Amino acid sequence: MRAQIGSKVIESAERMQGLPAQFFAKLVAKANAQAAKGRDVINLGQGNPDQPTPPHIVAKLQEAAANPLYHRYPPFSGYPFLKEAVAKRYLEDYGVDVDPAAEVAILFGGKTGLIEISQCLLNPGDYCLVPDPGYPDYWSGVSLAGGRMSFMPLLRHNGFLPDYKAIDPAIAEQAKLMFINYPNNPTGAVASSEFYERTVEFAKEHGIVVASDFAYGGIGYGGQRPVSFLQTPGAKEVGLEFYTLSKSYNMAGWRVGFAIGNPQIIAMINLIQDHYYCSLFGGIQEAAAEALNGPQDCVRELNELYERRREALFQALDEIGWKAARPGGSFFCWLPVPEGYTSEQFADLVLAEADVVVAPGAGFGTHGEGYVRLGLLTSEARLQEAVRRIGKLGLFTAPLVRDMLSGTEHTT
């Protein structure tokens, strides 16, 4: 990027030039172009929650907006009442004891913290371990810090968990930071306590800070609450967890999240934020505290809604013969593309021929190739309609036809 200033052309700084290309901006442009032709596009490609924020949280902001205290600068690093609400929620939900003053940092959404952590810890050339496929903002943070990424492949046969034994010990020794993310975007995989125990062990052995991105911590299926990294003995010594209100409370537009964990690293995040901002609008902090302290039925109901959608989608997938495993958490489904297509070719095809937007797995990293990501962020009827349209392309073999072709009797 450059700007013409008088007779001079000013090039953007090198750190800007190193930012990864926004793969999904291309996806949005293609979807918009299709919709501009007057087509009824079903967009399952993005991760923007479709439900409104629960009314008691909205009402708290409306009331708080009139409080003159909040019209002044908020305290650096946020109001203590919000940090206390964070600590209370973690104690109630996960049995994790948190010192609100020293172990919580308030964030402008999880995204901001995930970018700041690289800036806090990485010098140019330092290694960071990053999941592949993974949330592309990890790359942005590492790139802005001038760090180097070493990718940890997330493979189906490992339950989409990194295999620490496969990491080159020389790289592990040089790494200062690693990202993990369960429930996972994009695969929908969840992590067990045993995995987190292995993570703490690996981090201690090599001296690596663990950044656990728990953005989808509020979304688990079959009545299973996803496990928090901080529930693992020793986790707070080696890292921190990033949580956001965007998903659990449908507050993506409000931009509020938090980091919890190792107090020395929390102090670094607070310090960098003191230079960038002086915390969020007080009314938003009060509404966020209301979300965390108030009734949690809204989170349960949201889980039930996503579960109904997941079942509707997978029933429809089964009917067209698109075989895939259900996600254990998050609102994403990770589906293999039919043979003969790259993820981008398949995404282009279903957009052009079925007016359905899916996110090509290659956008999440090399090991995302071969998959597409679908979000459960529209009604059951629209999800089923999207699959029905894709089924009409004849790329999959419906179970009944498949059984007839193979001579097997169809009994259900």
Binding residues (CB under 6 A) for ligand PLP: these are 47, 109-111, 114, 135, 181, 185, 213, 215, 244, 246, 252, 257
Q: How far is the CB of 63 from ligand PLP (least distance, A)?
A: 24
> In Å, how far are 24, 248, 341 from 357, measured between CA atoms?
11, 24, 16
Q: Which is nearer to ligand PLP, 259 or 337 (CB)?
A: 259
Q: Which is nearer to ligand PLP, 154 or 390 (CB)?
A: 154
Q: Which is nearer to ligand PLP, 257 or 282 (CB)?
A: 257
Q: Which is nearer to ligand PLP, 133 or 391 (CB)?
A: 133
Q: How far apart are CA 85 and CA 290, in angstroms?
A: 8
> In Å, how far are 44, 238, 337, 338 from 395, measured between CA atoms?
19, 47, 9, 7
| DSSP codes, 334-401 | EEEPPTT--HHHHHHHHHHHH-EE-EEGGGG-GGGTTEEEEE--S-HHHHHHHHHHHHTTT-S--HHH
Contact 240, 259 (CB under 8 A): yes
Token pair belonging to 46? 């993005």
Q: How far is the CB of 80 from ligand PLP (least distance, A)?
A: 21
Residue 280 identity (one-letter amino acid)? L
352-358-362-367 Cα dihedral, nearest 10 degrees: -140
Q: How far is the CB of 69 from ligand PLP (least distance, A)?
A: 25
Q: How far is the CB of 296 from ligand PLP (least distance, A)?
A: 19
Q: Which is nearer to ligand PLP, 140 or 181 (CB)?
A: 181
Q: How far apart are CA 150 and CA 155, in angstroms?
A: 16
Q: How far is the CB of 73 from ligand PLP (least distance, A)?
A: 23
Q: How far is the CB of 140 from ligand PLP (least distance, A)?
A: 12
Q: Which is nearer to ligand PLP, 252 or 393 (CB)?
A: 252
